Structure formats: structure tokens, C-alpha cells
A and B are shown apart, each in its own frame.
Chain A
Amino acid sequence: MIQIKDLRFYYPKSKIILDNITLDFAPGNIYGLFGKNGEGKSTLMKIMTGLLFPKAGYYRVLGKDISGRNVKCLQEIFMVPEDFELPRLKISTYEQVNSPFYPKFSRDQFYKLIEEFKLSADENISTLSFGNKKKVLIAFGIATNTKLLLMDEPTNGLDIPSKSQFRKIMALAVDEGKCIIISTHQVRDLHSLINHVVILDQSKVAFNQPLSNISEYLWFGKPMRDEKESIIYSETSFGGKAMLFRQDRDETEVDLELLFNAVLSESNKINNALNTFHDGTI
């Protein structure tokens, strides 16, 4: 659905932020886009929304070129930015002035989500806390029913019950035709939602695998004494969690934090391993 090929981006007079980015995003998935601060997550999302123009490379949404902010493209994309300001309007007025631009917008869905988030359509957005403003925008974004929904740090500013509401709403929102990409460094908030991991590091794609592959070939936990040689990466801190080749061990849940740290220090080793496994050569 979304194809990015050899994409490159830099701001004027500054170092390269994204280099040689090649990614495919398919519908029916929730992608987790991870990376340290300043590794280009937000920049990539802005490019995908047509807000920034790549310096080189290829980017297509549903086969269409987004350059020049093609309306047909934009109608299939919604992004919830990390930081934003909303106008001083009632929630219902905000919906009225912005929804006509999205052909598949569902008012029912929007007001149901607003209710689910314990907000009221009559409230003025300017009186809401940042977290609640974010909920308004998330509800709006889901109700646009765009094929591509991008969220930059969506759980930032949400309290604990709201994070749980958010996960429920996302579990309901994803369907066969929809592609959701969530960028975050709060891995714990979202790890049950994501089914594909993309990690950006040093302006490149350091890792790009479906979760099913990861749990099939990698094992997370505390290794036994005699398993030392199959350790790919281990945390020296208390607890000594490690990532191993799974081989014939029982499947474990993917520890995204550990995976993230492992990729940052051993990306080649891990990618080579996963790719060879996946190609069936081992």
C-alpha cells in the first residue's frame, strides 16, 4: 500500500536525517516505528504525510505520487502529530469544519469514540488538557477512516487509564484495509498492539521484521548456564535478560525493549540471522 524506496532527506544545511530508506507498509497491520530521539521517526512520518518533500527517492501511497499534496492521496492519510495546537472550538464544531474533507468520515464513529474517551461533544477544546486534546485528535483520525493512519507518540500525555482505552480503541480500529503506523519510544504502552517492528538508527532502517518472525527465531529471557554460546545480546544490568536464537526452545513473548537495545548494538548480527533463517538456509 505504501512504498518507500531509497528515500533520502536532510534539512537545509544540516546532516542527513534519513538515508537510503526502503520500506513497504501493507494494510491490516499495526507497525511500530522505533528509534532514538532525533533518528528521523517524525521526519519520516512528515514525509509520508506530504508535509516534507524527500530530497531523493521514491514514495507512493496507494500507487499515487503525493508530491504537490495530491488531494486523492491526502484523503487516505491522517497523521496525529506528537505536539499540536487545536483551535478554540467546541469538539462538535471542530468535527463539522474538518470532516467534510474526508470522504469516508464517520460521524457516528467519531462521537462514539469521544464518548468512549469520556469527553463530551459540547466541551470547548481550549479548556481540555493536552492528553484530552490528543484524544480528540485520535478519535478524529480514526473516524476519518483513511487507509493510512500515522501516529507520532500517541500515548505521550495520556494517563494510565487512557492508555488502556487507547489500546482498546486501536484494537478495534485496525482492519484488513487499514494500515496503522505508530512511532514511539514508550515501547511498553504499545507492545501488545504492534505486529511489525521497524527500527530506525543512524538515519537508516536498522531492522524491519514482522513480530511473528521475531518470535519464531528469537528467544527472550534468562538463559541457562549452558546456553551462553547462543546468546546474541544480553543486558548486563540486574536480571540479566538476554536474547538468544530460539532453536527448539519454547516460544517467548518478544521483549521489544531488549530487541530495540540489541538492534542498536548488534543490528548486523541480528539481521543476518533472521534473514538466513527466513530464507530457509538453516
Chain B
Amino acid sequence: MDFDNSKPIYLQIVDVFYENILVKKWQEGERIPSVREIAVMVEVNPNTAIRAFTYLQEQEVIYNKRGIGYFVSENGYNKVLDIKRKEFMEDLLPDIFKKMRLLDIKFEEVKDSFNQYLNNIDHENK
């Protein structure tokens, strides 16, 4: 896995988990790979992987069954959705607004682009 330097590695691993849960690669209630498997997969020190697991447990996205392993929480999908939405609204949007203002892009233009994007997706799916 390639890491960028802006964010701690354990949070980048957390993002991979979020992604897998959002695209339903990991279903709710399903067992996920172990700490060591994740460490090997993303080529990090197991201590770093443990940090990611602990963080995800604190967010109640995953839980630990003693002696068996880690599982996606029953409402894990919604939890992740909430987290990522909040992240989008609080972190990403302000940056975009800032840029829109700087480049003088009207909201209508963005809206048009967005609608066009939705149309394209619909076409692709048909």
C-alpha cells in the first residue's frame, strides 16, 4: 500500500476499512481480517495496525469477539456513512467553497456538473 505523508498511517488504514464497508465488501456482522493479516496486507508494523483496530472499535464500527476475531458492527455501515458524511461536510466542503469563491465558480455551474455526472452514471448502469 502506498501511504501519503499528510495523515498518520493508522488513519489511512482506517480509511481502507471505511471504503471496504461502504462498498459492502465487508458486510455488517461479517468477520474481517486479523490484525496481522492487515499488517501484512498493507506492509506495516502490527503495532500500527492495532492502533487502527482500536480506533475503529472506539468509533463502534467494528467489535472484538474474544478469541475469534474482529467483526463489522451490526449498524457498522450506517456508522461509517455518518462518519464519512460528517468528514465531507466539515472538512472537504469548506475547502471546495473556498476554491469556488477564489475561482468565482457559481453554485449553478456545480449543480449542472453534478446532474450531468448523475446522468452518466445512470447511463453506464443501464
B45–A30 CB distance below 8 A: yes
Q: How many A residues are at the interface, by size bracket? A: 20 to 34
Show 7 A/B contacts (Cβ-Cβ < 8 Å), sorted by A.
Answer: A167-B44, A171-B39, A171-B45, A192-B42, A193-B44, A193-B45, A221-B6
Query: Given the complex of chains A and B, what is the CA–CA distance between A30 and B4 in angstroms?
Result: 21
Does residue B125 face the partner (Cβ distance < 8 Å to A)? no
Chain B residues in 8 Å Cβ range of A168: 40-41, 43
Does residue B120 face the partner (Cβ distance < 8 Å to A)? no
Least CB distance, A209 to chain B, in whole angstroms: 14
Least CB distance, A169 to chain B, in whole angstroms: 8
Query: Given the complex of chains A and B, what is the CA–CA distance between A229 and B7 in angstroms?
Result: 23
Query: Given the complex of chains A and B, what is the CA–CA distance between A253 and B9 in angstroms?
Result: 6
A252–B8 CB distance below 8 A: yes
Does residue B47 face the partner (Cβ distance < 8 Å to A)? yes
Q: Which residue of B lies closest to A215 (CB)?
A: B8
* Pick from A174, A221, A255: contact of B45, CB under 8 Å: A174
A residues lining the B interface (CB < 8 Å): 28-30, 164, 167-168, 171-172, 174, 192-195, 215, 220-221, 251-253, 255
Does residue B79 face the partner (Cβ distance < 8 Å to A)? no
Q: A171-B43, A192-B9, A253-B3 are in contact. List 13 more A-B contacts (CB 8 A).
A: A28-B47, A167-B43, A172-B39, A193-B43, A194-B45, A195-B45, A251-B8, A251-B11, A252-B5, A252-B8, A253-B4, A253-B6, A253-B9
Whether A252 touches B7, Cβ cut-off 8 Å, given contacts A168-B40, A172-B40, is: yes
Least CB distance, B55 to chain A, in whole angstroms: 11
